[in-house]
Every structure is written in structure tokens, then in C-alpha cells.
Structure 1
């Protein structure tokens, strides 16, 4: 298994790294993991791009200092502050119609293991009106109520599958503040109070420690030797 660490100098460069990772897995059939801290941005999903208020949503994100971008994986808008952690596990596939739920289940279990090692008692599921709403999410009790910490999405090609996600480490207030007007422009229900974080759940919220914990959980020790490639 290959592990990719770090990020490129720009948002576009960073996205190119992730795309090259997928192409490499498809070509050489060796799984790969990447866990990193993306540049500050709001990443919109494909459904957002079709919404009537999409252009206004992009403007609102940009006005608040979050450059708007579009991502390949489905789901609704997510915000990265620089401390937010993104992760992806890419595996070769021979049948794009099978294994979808198994890959989701494995990634969710690994993420829960990582959060447990950081002192967060998390579980699958999400509160109503969360950011990037979906059935593959992770929540934790923060300040007496359940709040969303992470969301998962999956993209499957004929030759490779990508299970990717976002984990809020801290800066939950900044994320809620930018997503609130963005979601209103997109006409998507959103409650800013549902945004949680590792810090809000009283876990170890050092972003580098979170990266290490998630990377360690996602790397499949049974896959054999692990090689590391530095990005940027």
C-alpha cells in the first residue's frame, strides 16, 4: 500500500495530486491512502452545481475568504479551514457494481477507531440538517447534543474506487458561519449548531495528530509493505 503525505502549494495542485493517485492505483493495482489538510476553501458537490442559487453560493463563500471549488465526489458543500482533515482510500476494483457498502463500512469503522484513539466517543449517524447530509456520517456528543464530525462519500470507476471524507478538527464556528449562508443560497436545510469537531467533543485536536491517527487507521496492515510518498 502506498501512503501519500502533505499537500501541494495550491488548491488546483492539490486536486491534481489526488487525481494522479487514482490513476496510479488503477494502473498498478496497488491500494493507496492519502490524509491531509486541504487549503482553505468551500468544495461544492455536483448537486450544488445544478442548484438555482449556485452562483450566489459561490459568491458568498468567496466573500468570506473561502475560495469556491467543485469536487468530483458527490454530496453537498463542505468547508475546509486549513485545520480540517481530508482523507481518501483508493482501491483497485474489477466490478464497479459490487463492494460499495463494504467499502463504506470499512472506512467508517477505521474512522471511528481513529477518533477513539484521539479520545472521542463517536458513532455512525448524524443529526438532522447537518452539513453535507448523507447516510454515511460520523457524529459525537458535543456540549450535550449530537453534532456531526465527519462525512464520507464514494466515487467508483471501472478500475478504481475512492472512499473519501472530511473530518472537522476544530474551527467548527468558522465552518458553520460560512456554510450557513451558502446552504441558504442553495436552498438546503442546515442548522449551524449541528457542526461538531474533535475539539468540541473534547478530543485531542492537534491537526497533525489527527492526520496521523486517521492515516494509521486507514492503512491496511494486511496489505503488506507500506511505502510513503511526500506531496509538495
Structure 2
């Protein structure tokens, strides 16, 4: 198993590291990555079909967030440079099934990791959340903390998601996503964004990242994980 730490110097370089994890899984080696991606708004394929997509990209860029398209997920997700992302890549050996099971396993692992650092989160999300989906985590009775998506190929799958750490991170995400979603004409409530800190967890991103990393390594049940540093970390 390969465990990546750090981030690329650019959005493009950073995304290539995660793509490499998926390629390695296709060759039979699972991988884990938990990191803080560069500042960006990552649009989903559904966003690209909206009439307001070009305007949404301009809004993101004007706010200092690089607009990019991603291969998984439905709606826009933003990363401030402190927002965490997580990814688990697994070989499939030609079996594309178990999609829901992988979603459930990863969501459960992330929830368990957050619980170990003191954050009380539960499955689900409030209405009008960013990138709404069926595999989210929220502050108990509060805002969305994490969302998960999945890319499945014939030979490998990548289950990936975002994780909001602090209240200030949540506020910054709300500020950029409100006009982005408005441009896309997609319902969004800026108050729907929660954070690990709001759920009672720490504000130290590194502590949260390592807890989630450990949980995903345990989930993969792979022998001898090898840690490779691919860039600096913002903590």
C-alpha cells in the first residue's frame, strides 16, 4: 500500500498525484491519501452542463479560487487550502460491484476517525447543502462536514471526499460557494456548512488528517503501508 502525504505545487500537479493512486490500484496496489488540496473550486460534470457554468467559473476565479472540473461527484466543492480531502483507491480485479458497500465503508471509517478526535458527527446532511449526496456526514443536528464521491473503472475504484475542519474554513467556503451556486442556479444555503470544530473536534488539520489516514489504512487492510511525501503540507 502507498500512502501519500503533502500536496502538489499547483492544482494540476496535485490532481496528478491522486490519479497516480488510482493507476497504482489498477496494478493491484491500494492507496490512501489525506491532505489539504490547493485553493480551488472543483466543479462536477452536472455543473458543466448548466447554462451558468462559465459565469460560475468566473465567479470562483475572481474570488481567488482556481476553477477546475473533476471526474467524480455531482456539484461544486471548494477547498480553501486548509480544507481537507481524503481518498482511498482499491483494486477491483474486474468486479465493478460493491459501490454502495465501498461508500458505506469509507463513510463509516471517516466518522469513526472523527469520533476518536472528539467530533460528534452523524450520517446525512441538511437541505440545500454543497454537493448534495447520499453519503455525507454532518454535525449532529447541524451543518455538513464531509461529502463523498466515487470513481469506478473496470480495474480499480477511488472513493474520495472533502472534510471541513474549522469554523473559519466553513465561513470561507460559504462565501465563495454562495455566488457560485447562484450562477449555476442550484439551491444552496451558506448556513448548511458545518465543521469538525463545530462538532466538538480539534482545529488542528494535521491531527484530523492523521486520524482519517489511519482509519482508511485499517479499512484497506493492506500489509506494510509505505509513506511517500509528494509535497509540503500547510501545517
TM-score by length of 2: 0.94
CA displacement 1:183-220 (0-9 Å, x = unmatched): 01111111100100112223111111111111011102
Which residue of structure 2 aligns with residue 21 of structure 1?
A: 21
| Displacement after TM superposition at 1:20 (Å) | 1.5
SS at match of 2:142: strand
Which residue of structure 2 aligns with residue 202 of structure 1?
A: 200
Q: Does the 8 Å contact 1:96/1:156 carry over to 2?
A: no
Q: Does the 8 Å contact 2:24/2:30 carry over to 1?
A: no
Distance 2:2 2:178 in 1: 37
Distance 1:176 1:10 in 2: 23
Q: Does the 8 Å contact 2:139/2:198 carry over to 1?
A: no
Q: Does the 8 Å contact 1:149/1:197 carry over to 2?
A: yes
Pairwise CA RMSD: 1.1
2:149 counterpart (150, 153, 158): 153
Distance 1:92 1:177 in 2: 38
Q: Does the 8 Å contact 2:52/2:184 carry over to 1?
A: yes
| Displacement after TM superposition at 1:130 (Å) | 0.5
Count of residues in Structure 1 that have an aligned counterpart in Structure 2: 228
1:188 counterpart (174, 186, 189): 186
Larger mean CA deviation between 75-84 and 93-102 belongs to 93-102
SS at match of 1:219: helix
Which residue of structure 1 aligns with residue 109 of structure 2?
A: 110
Distance 1:206 1:148 in 2: 19
Distance 2:229 2:151 in 1: 24
- 1:27-176 counterparts in 2 under 5 A? 27=27, 29-141=28-140, 145-170=141-166, 171-176=169-174
Gaps of 5+ in 2: none
Distance 2:116 2:230 in 1: 26
CA displacement 1:91-133 (0-9 Å, x = unmatched): 0002443110110111011000111012111111001100100
SS at match of 1:56: helix
TM-score by length of 1: 0.95
Distance 2:2 2:29 in 1: 7
SS at match of 1:146: coil
Distance 2:78 2:95 in 1: 29
Distance 1:42 1:96 in 2: 32
